[in-house]
Amino acid sequence: MALHMTKIAYGAESIDTLRAWLESQADSPSGEARPTTRYLPKRHAEMIGGSLYWIHAHSIVGRSTILGFEQQPDGGRWAIRLAPELIAVQPRPKRAHQGWRYLEEPPADLGDGEASDALPGHLASELAKLGL
């Protein structure tokens, strides 16, 4: 079974802007989305075929399939090679972190037209702080 990772959707104003950016990358020369990271995961070979789960507003909101990793020409960063699509998942609260993290138990995908009954991550966090 493939290993997964989480990453903040840094710079994405909404889930729609994240989706638009990913889909626009299909027209790039590689046909892949390529966010970068400073460090290559030690278990990178296990991650091929897994997914990068995107965190937006303190919630895991979607995933993109990991195709591989490639060192940038400058040698200082690594590109995470992704399929240029965002697959909606059942939102799950997730605290912000720098870089990426492994994800052992990923949330389930949402089907076409299926709506989530989960609270937005920031709201779930606030309610948890209040003990509700």
Give 90-117 pLDDT, tens digit per residue. 999 898 888 899 998 999 998 766 555 5
Q: Which of 57, 79, 63, 56 shows the shortest CA–CA distance to 5?
A: 63
- Whether the model clears a pTM of 0.85, i.e. scores above it, the answer is no
Residues 116, 62: Cα–Cα separation, whole Å: 12
Are 33 and 9 spatial neighbours (Cβ–Cβ below 8 Å)? no
pLDDT of residue 46: 95
Q: How confident is the model at residue 52 (pLDDT cuts 50, 70, 90)?
A: very high
Structural domains for the chain: 4-129 (2.30.130)
pLDDT of residue 47: 96
Averaged confidence pLDDT in the chain: 87
pLDDT of residue 95: 87
* pLDDT over threshold 80, residue 83: yes
pLDDT of residue 112: 67
* pLDDT over threshold 60, residue 48: yes
DSSP string for residues in 97-129: -SSEEEESSPPPBPPTTPPP-SPPHHHHHHHHH
